[in-house]
Amino acid sequence: MTNEEPVPLHGKAVFDADLYGGAEGGNGYTASIAMEEEDEQDDRERLVAGKLASYTAPKSVLNDIPVSDDGDQAGSFGGSNRIVDRESEYSRRRLNRIISPDRNDAFNMGDQTPDARVRTYADVMREAQLAREQDNTLRNIELKRRAEEDAAALAALDAVPTKASGLAPPVAASAATAPASSAGKRSRWDAGDAAARPAASKWDAVEATPSAPADAWGATPAPGASKWDAGEATPGAGARRNRWDATPADEAAGGKRSRWDATPAALYHALKVERETEARNRPLSDADLDALLPGAGDGYRVLEAPPGYEPIRTPARKLAATPTPYGGTPLYGIPEEDRGQAFDVPIALEGLPDLKPEDQQYFGKLLQEVDDGELSVEEAKERRIMKLLLKVKNGTPPQRKSALRALTDKARDFGAGALFNQILPLLMSPTLEDQERHLLVKVIDRVLFKLDDLVRPFVHKILVVIEPLLIDEDYYARVEGREIIANLAKAAGLASMIAAMRPDIDNVDEYVRNTTARAFSVVASALGIPTLLPFLKAVCQSKKSWQARHTGIKIVQQISILMGCAVLPHLRALVDIVKGGLADENQKVKTITALTVSALAEAAAPYGIESFDDVLEPLWKGIRLLRGKVLAAYLKAIGFIIPLMDAMYANYYTREVMVVLLREFATPDEEMKKIVLRVVKQCVATEGVEPDYIRTEVLPEFFKHFWVRRMALDRRNYRVLVETTVAIAERVGCAEIVGRVVEDLKDESEPYRKMVMETVDKVIASLGTADIGAALEEQLFDGVLYAFQEQVADESPVVLNGFGTVVNALGTRAKPYLPQIAGVIKWRLNNKSAKIRQQAADLIARCAPVMKRCDQEGLLAHLGVVLYENLGEEYPDVLGSVLGALKAIVNVIGMTRMTPPIKDLLPRLTPILKNRHEKVQENCIDLVGRIADRGAEFVPAREWMRICFELLDMLRAFKKAIRRAAVNTFGYIAKAIGPQDVLVTLLNNLKVQERQSRVCTTVAIAIVAETCAPFTVLPALMNEYRVPELNVQNGVLKSLSFLFEYIGEMGKDYIYAVTPLLEDALTDRDLVHRQTAAFVIQHMSLGVTGLGCEDALLHLLNLVWPNVFETSPHIVQAVTGAIDGCRCALGPATILNFLLQGLFHPARKVREVYWRHYNNLYIGSQDALTAFYPRMEDEGINTYARAELDVFI
Amino acid sequence: MAQTLQDRLNINSQLEHLQSKYVGTGHADTTRFEWNLNIKRDTYASLVGHHSLATYHAIAENESIGRVKYNFVQNMLFPCGLPPERDDD
């Protein structure tokens, strides 16, 4: 919905883009109204995603899929990553914006008058004003034309009272088109003698660029072309300027600015357009016409113009002609022909990443061979930036990192202009992908930090590019956008920000205003609300345009959404600023004001009622007088203010507002329904409202209008209704609500049943079943069982959850129903549909605790046997659920009384461990782990060993939970059957090639050592170190590292035992040996701090120390850690003595390393070090000696 | 800064960044004067911060504890005298 279109008074309803957000095409509130829904997740989507996550493919297949190094796999499956492809039409309007030329930095100039060539704030404001006036004029013209047409139609109707209604409009329409088309012809022929007037044609070329909305071309031109006269009156200021007209329009407007101010991309387009326009619209000379048309030789002759004919020479007239489409389709540029280009060969530049075809436009220059010596400084700089940007955009991660760093470091040398003139057009590129945008935005962020106040002239340009991120559907893009704008605000300062954004506040395009409001709220959060208050006050009282007031109020709304309770200190000021909007004559301003008040109240809850005193009365009057959208907004405001009031007032106001709400219960408008539900929810939750009142006044109407099947169909309605009903139940009690809906559990519409089930679930979960009588209980159970049995293949767990909640809440009261449930479950476990079997198994898992509580162990045991028989299940999802159910049963009835007995159950589980499906693996390993933990003695040791072997495979699982469960199970098994055998298995596994498996094995060894005491494990482990194999030795060291981490203080008994081994490792040639040994020392030293092991640690530190000069990052980290650990165990003095040798070493490399370690030491023990610094001699005028330390008594 | 590309980009550079945020840390070009400045300031801060040490000095100098602490804090301004002339090379 664009802003240019007037709202029709009749016919199809048109949604206000401000209120309903263009993004969703008017089918739902967007962020501007339903702010808490901004980040909501679609329940169904989440579920589906969850389900999908458990499907996996054979590893061989997964390994074959090439994965980009960033782990961003979306692209590898054929879907487009381009941002334009997923954007809504509304978001795509960002492409309509132009990157405006640099602006004057008024804050850097002192008293100088700005250079006439640069754009100043005044210029920009004037342009915005012109655009607005033009928009108004166009709108008025349109209205007038319509009125005239209607009048004509009416007149025609009057003339021919019958049958005319069908004919009149076409007549009028053709009458309207006739002059236009003839005008078109005339001007075509004008071109013939226009050759004589080169000046005029030049003017045409400039003016012919469309400076009106693109869709205006589609419409029939108005007769008399008065539109274009208006256009001339406000030259070149496009209502919706599109990117193509950037330069010419500006040129026409300012006159004093040369087109060279424009950014390269805009310039490029402008030149291209101009060239094309000139080529196509070049006047035909007589010679051309002779060549084209048959001449006298073919029996034709050239006619003279009729005597009275005078060609129309006013350019304005000519513009009424149907324009030739120039420049091709928008968003598509025919690539420049380049003779030197090799076709079909991927373009590769040396040392640079590949160019994509669409990058040519921006990076084409790099393809030209140039001699570096011939380039001017500026050109060389430009090429250098271009290369770096290309590396950031398309390069490999290392390339990207170094390029990013180079850009950051050199930012001030390059200068703001050179950088932004290249970065910003790239960001506006229609083919940009998410990842690329992220990287470029990162560049801006880094560069901003460096450039600081140099960015001022570019603030607006940057905002044009970054603002669209604020309404991106991707959460992280929004966060990124906020961060950049916040940094920009800090770099440029408030005054610059306001100067840059003020003209956009009353921009004619709603999109621009919307994004500007959001950007302003970010500025407010970055620089503090108080600094922005005076400005907001002025804007909200603007007399010039309602747009400014609207945007000003919207800024306040966005601030409260963004900052939440941080608005509290400024609440009164903010309310004061917006309150005038409630009395505004413009409906949109009224609406946004009410929404802002509600946002403020929501942010402030539960405080700050006194700040809203001033708005209560107008809101109050409003809900009685208004209708429609405005009423909805007012109701919402009231709904959010009532919870802030104290009980007495809340009660009074609720009763008052309820009259209106009850009336609106019957509204057919979906949005109104949602708001009414929200307000009811807010009101009933307030303290002062009495349950009796709700029961008698609200409930009957509420159920009559809202508890209908239709409400279950729309997801948002569904959710709001459930929430509201639960809120009501909190006041009137569980039985009241459950009693009303319980019948509907047997409704024939499944979505409706689900909605009922979810409500029952939530109500009972929060209120319990204490007030549910016997009759209702029976009814409830009947309904729940019916709903469970009737659900067809459906993914959602709503019914299952509801069932579980009801059964568990009933507790012992559920006893009479349990046999019935068990019967249903048993029957359904044998159903041929996999879904149903799975649901049945899941239900067992939920009911098991209740069955135990109801003393139904026999039943549980029976179900256990049934499940045991079902272990041959072939569907992995069902098998996973069966295992989960078995686990639940084992949990409640214990190992000894479990049927089938554990000794039969476990051997059946061993082969299932081989299953590769994640759900099966996870449930199976949990069950096995539990048995190993509690009932290991029921199973022979041989079986446990077999399981150990299976578990080794589990260490390779993708899911961390599975790996962790497997590692823990090793610990349980080792405890049960003694560490020796398990350890042998694990030590052998150190020889395998796969790294992940080895890492997990080392963890498992450490856990075994922890559970079975280290002395049972260490001998074998240290013996294994003698195997002359790199992987094994490193594995042993890594196990030691984990081991000492886990055993902590216990380590003091083992230090001397492992010291020789560590000596060997620390003197090994292999880097990894030394690195891992350093990690061992780190954990060891931290564990034994203060336990008197200094001698051994000092010895080890002596061996660690030479490694400080290693450069590989991992070993640097390990050595730093080891030294830090020793600092704690040995005290800072020891380390300082090591360091003093090299702090002022002649070699810089030594100094660098030593100072790094010194800094670490210093930060860790600053105070303690003062006693240990060396005694210094005074030097010249400087006194370095610390005489205070020599004082003694 | 003669560092390889590799270790400029790793976690250790973050460590250095972190260290540089604290007053009193140094780097390869720290001068004798700067280091001693920090040492002396740390020493005074420690003497002021540990009440027992301040008491000890008060007894030794026969001054009130407050005076001793005040003197220490004052000394922290120019503990080593004025910085030596930098020879610009």
SS3 content of chain A, % helix, strand, coil (to 5): 75, 0, 25
Identify the band that residue A204 occupies on the pLDDT scale cut at 50, 70 and 90. Answer: very low
CB A1113 to CB B10 under 8 A? yes
Q: Which tops the pLDDT comparison, A298 or A1059?
A: A1059
Residue A268 has a pLDDT of 60
Cβ contacts of A1115 on chain B, cutoff 8 Å? none
Q: Which chain B residues contact residue A1108 at CB under 8 A?
A: none
Which of A396, A409, A1159 should one mutate to test binding to chain B, selecting the residue with the greatest count of B CBs within 10 A? Answer: A1159
Q: Least CB-CB distance to B80: which of A405, A1120, A1183?
A: A1183
Of A402, A1113, A1186, the CB nearest to B40: A1186
Q: Are A386 and A365 in contact (CB under 8 A)?
A: yes
Q: Do B40 and A1184 touch (CB under 8 A)?
A: yes
To the nearest whole Å, the CA of A1090 is away from the closest chain B CA by 23
pLDDT given at position A482: 94
From chain A, pick out residues whose CB is under 8 angstroms from the CB of B68: none
Q: Is the pLDDT of residue B4 over 90?
A: no
CB contacts of B81 in chain A (<8 Å) are 1181-1183
- In this complex, which of B7, B10, B42 lies closest to A1170 when CB atoms are compared? B42
Per mean pLDDT, which range of A679-693, A1038-1052, A1089-1103 is the poorest?
Answer: A679-693
Instruction: Please give, one letter per residue, the 3-state secondary structure of chain B.
Output: CCCCHHHHCCHHHHHHHHHHCCCCCCCCCCCHHHHHHHHHHHHHHHHHHCHHHHHHHHHHHCCCHHHHHHHHHHHCCCCCCCCCCCCCC
pLDDT at A70: 40
Q: Which pLDDT score is estimated for A489?
A: 92
Residues 6+ apart with CB under 8 A from B32: A1144, A1179, A1184
Cβ neighbours around A1007 below 10 Å, total: 23
pLDDT (0 to 100) of residue A66 = 41
Instruction: State the pLDDT at residue A486.
Output: 93
pLDDT at B12: 62
Task: Give the length of chain B.
Answer: 89
Rounded to an integer, what distance in angstroms lies between the CA atom of residue A487 and that of residue A493? 10
At residue A847, what are phi and psi to the nearest 5 degrees?
A: -85, -15
Nearest-angstrom CA–CA distance, A729 and A735: 8
Closest-CA residue of chain B to A1187: B40
Mutate to test the interface with A, among B1, B8, B34, B43 (most CBs of A within 10 A): B43
pLDDT at A232 (0 to 100): 40
Greater pLDDT, A368 or A185: A368
B56-82 per-position pLDDT tens digit: 999 999 999 999 999 999 999 999 988
**Could you tell me the pLDDT band of residue A289, with boundaries at 50, 70 and 90?**
confident
B58/B46 Cα distance (integer angstroms)? 15
Indicate the helix (H) or strand (E) that contains A728: helix A715-732
pLDDT in tens, A841-872: 999 999 999 999 998 888 999 999 999 999 99
Work out the end-to-end distance of chain A between its first and last CA atoms, rounded to an integer number of angstroms: 88
Q: Are A735 and A772 in contact (CB under 8 A)?
A: yes
- Domain range annotation of chain B: 30-78
How much is the pLDDT for A1139? 96
Res. A1108 pLDDT band, cuts 50 70 90: very high
Asked if A1143 has any chain B CB less than 8 Å from its own CB, the reply is: yes
Percent of chain A with pLDDT over 90: 40
CB contact (8 A) between residue B15 and residue A1160: yes
What is the CA angle A714-A716-A720, rounded to 5?
120
Region A865-891: what's the mean pLDDT?
Answer: 93
pLDDT at position A159 is: 55
Is residue A1155 within 8 angstroms of chain B, CB to CB?
A: yes
Residue of B nearest to A1150 (CA): B28
How is residue A1068 written in tokens?
């090994």
Residues 6+ apart with CB under 8 A from A406: A388
pLDDT tens digits, A1072-1090: 999 999 999 999 999 999 9
- More confident call, A350 vs A1017: A1017
Can you tell me the mean pLDDT for A98-116? 63
B2 interaction partners in chain A (CB closer than 8 Å): 1148-1149
Q: Give residue A57's pLDDT.
A: 45
Q: Is the pLDDT of residue A215 over 70?
A: no
Q: Do B25 and A1159 touch (CB under 8 A)?
A: yes
Q: Is it the case that residue A628 has pLDDT exceeding 80?
A: yes
- Pinpoint the alpha helices (H) of A733-749: 734-741
Residue A28's pLDDT band, with cuts at 50, 70 and 90, is very low
For residue A212, pLDDT over 50 is answered with no
- A1152·B26 Cβ contact <8 A: no
| Chain A residues within 8 A of B3 when measuring between CB atoms | 1152
The C-alpha atoms of residue A360 and residue A346 are separated, in whole angstroms, by 12
Torsion of CA A404, A409, A413, A414, to 10 degrees: 10
Report which of A638, A624, A644 is spatially closest to residue A680, judged by C-alpha positions: A638
More confident residue, A1017 or A222: A1017
Assigned token pair, A308 = 């009275």
Tell me if B60 and A1192 make a contact (CB, 8 A cut-off). Answer: yes
Decide if A996 is inside a domain: no
Number of structural domains in chain A: 1
Half-sphere exposure of B3 (CA within 13 A, CB side): 18
What is the average pLDDT across A624-643?
A: 91
Q: Per the domain annotation, does A12 fall within a domain?
A: yes
pLDDT band per the 50, 70, 90 thresholds, residue A922: very high
Q: Across chain A, what does the average pLDDT equal?
A: 80
Give the pLDDT confidence of A779-836 residue by residue, as tens digits. Answer: 999 999 998 888 875 677 888 899 999 999 998 899 999 999 999 999 999 888 888 8
- A1037 touches A1001 (CB < 8 A): no
Q: What is the mean pLDDT of residues A639-652?
A: 89
- Give me the sign of the Cα torsion angle A890, A896, A898, A900: positive
For A990: left if phi > 0, alpha if psi spans -120 to 50, otherwise beta; the answer is alpha
The reply to whether residue A1155 touches residue B6, judged by beta carbons under 8 angstroms, is no
The count of C-alpha atoms lying within 13 angstroms of the C-alpha of A388, restricted to the half-sphere facing its C-beta, is: 25
DSSP secondary structure, A24-54, as one string? GTTSS--TTT-GGGTT---HHHHHHHHHHHT
Is A7 a member of any domain? yes
| Three-state SS at A119 | strand
Cβ-Cβ pairs closer than 8 A, A with B, add up to 106
B82 to chain A: closest CA residue: A1182
User: ∠ CA A1112-A1115-A1119 to the nearest 5 degrees?
Assistant: 135
pLDDT tier at A520 (50, 70, 90 boundaries)?
Answer: very high
For the segment A14-38, the average pLDDT, to the nearest whole number, is 38
CA dihedral angle for residue A1137, residue A1140, residue A1141, residue A1146, rounded to 10 degrees: 170
Residue A17 lies in a domain: yes
Q: Do residue A1111 and residue B60 have CB atoms under 8 angstroms apart?
A: no
Judge whether A48 lies within some domain.
Answer: yes
A1187 to chain B, any CB pair closer than 8 A? The answer is no
Q: For residue A670, which of A715, A708, A720, A717 has the smallest C-alpha distance?
A: A717
Task: Specify if A22 maps to a domain.
Answer: yes
Owning domain of residue A13: 1-55
For residues A63-90, give the mean pLDDT: 53
> Which residues of chain A from 1114 to 1133 reach within 8 Å of chain B, CB to CB?
1116-1117, 1120
Q: Decide if A32 is inside a domain.
A: yes
Q: Which of A1184, A1190, A1192, A1193 to mutate to test the interface with B (most CBs of B within 10 A)?
A: A1184
| A730-787: pLDDT as tens digits | 999 999 999 999 999 999 888 899 999 999 999 999 999 888 999 999 999 999 999 8
Q: Find, in chain A, the residue whose alpha carbon is nearest to that of B68.
A: A1188
pLDDT score for B22? 87
Per-residue pLDDT tens over the stretch A44-60: 445 444 444 444 444 44
